[in-house]
A and B are shown apart, each in its own frame.
Chain A
Amino acid sequence: MSDLTYIPVLAQLNDDFFGNREGAADRCPGNNGLCPGWIADNFSDYLHPFWEHVLLSIVPLAIGFVIATSLALFAHRYRVAQPFFLAFVGALFTIPSIAFYLILLNITGRGFGTAVVVLTAYTQVLIYRNVMTGLQEVPAETVDVANGMGLSQRQILFRVELPMALPTIFAGLRIAASSTVGIAGFAFFAGAGGLGGEIFSDPAFKGNVVTASLLMILLATALELIVLLVQRLCTPWERAVAT
């Protein structure tokens, strides 16, 4: 392994990759079991990585949403851009995440910024495609009648098309949220910490892996619920029922 230490991320794995817990091999935590007692005692150690993970999820989602929506609005206005944008965001999504981190390390160095670039790139296809679909699903006659009543192109976009696309846009955002929480698990390759770092610091110890994983699931679920809540607040007509 030491040959590879010129790759900084692997250098970090070298020293304590297989754990540094003390204790007898037949008892917790030395036996790599679930060890609830150990989890309870050491839970506070997970809080810092957890908050790192929260930031690693929310920041790329926010930046990704702004970029992908802008791309989609541009492509909606200038249709020639559509195939190019779709190919571009699709290609971003196919880059293997570890490779992506390693490539960027040589360009942007280690740290939070690198992780955000990678995670933002992955949100693009999910958000872009849904914004695009949502806009395209607005019935032609609704746009026609808006036009016929004298709404300007901008007014049609912001008062008719975007609001009507909201349910689809939010659906994309929900998928992007859980996917980002998952991919942020590799952010420690860029030295950006997060719960993935905890998992890989002692991958053989069930107590450690389960705790970190559950926190990630919790985060993903919470983000989805928050997006869903915002969606419900923004789209009251979706809940209107015939009387």
Chain B
Amino acid sequence: MPTETKAQDGAPTIGSDAAPLEFREVVKHYPGAERPAVNKLSLEVPAGEICVLVGPSGCGKTTAMRMVNRMIDISDGDILIGGKSVRDRRPSELRREIGYVIQQIGLFPHKTIGENIATVPHLLGWNKQRTNERVEELLELIGLPGDFRDRYPSQLSGGQRQRVGVARALAADPPLMLMDEPFGAIDPINRERLQNEFLRLQAELRKTIVFVTHDIDEAIKMGDRIAILKEGGILAQYATPAELLMYPASPFVEDFVGSDRALKRLALQRVRDIDLWTAPLVRIGEPVSEVKAKLSEADLEIPLVVDDQGRPKGWLSERGLQGERVREDFRSPAEPIVELDDILRDALSDLLSADSQYGPVVDADGRVAGVLSIEALSHALSVPAEHLPSATELAISTAEHDAADGAEEFA
């Protein structure tokens, strides 16, 4: 990593790459405490991935995170950023290269949004022009209007303040970010939006991130990898969300993940990721003989009527096939319609609420792309974990899709 040398000659890192992070047998033992708060923690976070530290209170997850930027001193073992030990670094210099976001956000109330974001660039001695450009860039990145730079934190909503907190942590483009329950104080609806926004941002920025939470659902959603810690700071399991849900390593993990872990896996995949059934697509007025040929090739034996643009109209009845050409006679409407970008959990919920075994899947233009059935879903759940995508990959596939849609959510 070139970051350290750059910082030393006073020309800090912009556009710096993410750095891999490694915990090597890290121990934190507070004086007077019976047992360590973190006990021989070893794990590696590849560059550009989100590692979520999760566990019940008292499991040492925050302690583990705070040892990375030496807010807490390491008792034994070592932490390496980009292969270099944090123990050799001066704490204040080290911290300027690591983004830091906490639950309470901690914006400086006496400084404007622009000044808040410019905190670290200011410490690093960036000139005015470079700082201003960076502030502008970041405000745009987090989707706040440029004139917000002159406002004070008290004039912003909770969600806006949280975004500014993230922008401030990103200001000097650190190769590593530490986030301690960053969405913990936000109401559930806004939290979901901010989580999605952050995943999209991360898909673009590709920082190495240590993310602390006590919420397993948030861990599954945000993490490329999840480290579950149990009391006494012992690592119970370190795995991708899918592995964790499929193969919990111990009764503790199984219990912590919850008895609905099979259902939670449904949140890890989107409809586009699984093998869909093919349906015989027919148009009104088509020769019945052709339909019969299609019927034998498709997974489903019921013809799905589509319009000229390929959009689903309804399932054809037996009587529709009596005669030479297909007649408009539906046995049932084409419901529920599932989108390729729905996560499996939502798709299953649609099927169940429509009281249906299967539903047509449509792409962004509304054209039929296949059929989702309960059977296809249950087959997807039996796919080995290593084939499942990570949170960042999911976010990228969504981001690409949204880019096609005009990415209106950022506006």
Q: Do A and B bind each other?
A: yes
Query: Residues of A with Cβ closer than 8 Å to B?
Result: 139, 141-142, 144-152, 155, 160, 163-164, 166, 235, 237, 240-243
Complex CA–CA separation, A164 to B111 (angstroms): 10
Once the chains bind, are B104 and A139 in contact (CB under 8 Å)? yes
Query: Residues of B with Cβ closer than 8 Å to A?
Result: 69, 71, 91-96, 98, 100, 102-106, 108-111, 119-120, 123, 151-152, 154-155, 168-169, 178
Q: Tell which of B94, B106, B110, B120 has the most Cβ of chain A within 10 Å.
A: B110
Across the A-B interface, give the 7 residue pairs with the lowest CB-CB distance, nearest first: A145-B106, A150-B95, A148-B100, A150-B96, A141-B104, A240-B152, A141-B106
Chain B residues, Cβ within 8 Å of A151:
92, 119, 123
Chain B residues, Cβ within 8 Å of A148:
69, 71, 95, 98, 100, 102, 178
Once the chains bind, are A150 and B104 in contact (CB under 8 Å)? no
Q: How far is the CB of A149 from chain B (nearest CB, A)?
A: 5
Chain A residues, Cβ within 8 Å of B103:
141
Q: How far is the CB of B160 from chain A (nearest CB, A)?
A: 11
Q: Tell which of A144, A150, A243 has the most Cβ of chain B within 10 Å.
A: A150
The chain A residue with its CB closest to the CB of B178 is A148
Once the chains bind, are A164 and B104 in contact (CB under 8 Å)? no
Chain A residues, Cβ within 8 Å of B71:
144, 147-148
Q: Tell which of B71, B95, B103 has the most Cβ of chain A within 10 Å.
A: B95
The chain B residue with its CB closest to the CB of A155 is B123
Q: How far is the CB of B121 from chain A (nearest CB, A)?
A: 11
Complex CA–CA separation, A150 to B152 (angstroms): 22
Q: How far is the CB of B22 from chain A (nearest CB, A)?
A: 21
Complex CA–CA separation, A146 to B168 (angstroms): 11
Once the chains bind, are A145 and B92 in contact (CB under 8 Å)? no
Once the chains bind, are B92 and A237 in contact (CB under 8 Å)? no
The chain B residue with its CB closest to the CB of A151 is B123
Once the chains bind, are B93 and A160 in contact (CB under 8 Å)? no
Q: How far is the CB of B126 from chain A (nearest CB, A)?
A: 14
Chain A residues, Cβ within 8 Å of B92:
150-152
Q: How far is the CB of B67 from chain A (nearest CB, A)?
A: 12
What would be 12 A-B contacts, judged by CB atoms less than 8 Å apart? A139-B104, A139-B106, A141-B103, A146-B108, A148-B98, A149-B95, A149-B169, A151-B92, A155-B123, A164-B109, A237-B109, A242-B154
Once the chains bind, are B155 and A240 in contact (CB under 8 Å)? yes
Once the chains bind, are B106 and A150 in contact (CB under 8 Å)? no
The chain A residue with its CB closest to the CB of B124 is A150
Once the chains bind, are A141 and B102 in contact (CB under 8 Å)? yes
State which of B91, B96, B155 has its C-beta within 8 Å of the C-beta of A243: B155
The chain B residue with its CB closest to the CB of A164 is B110
Chain A residues, Cβ within 8 Å of B93:
150
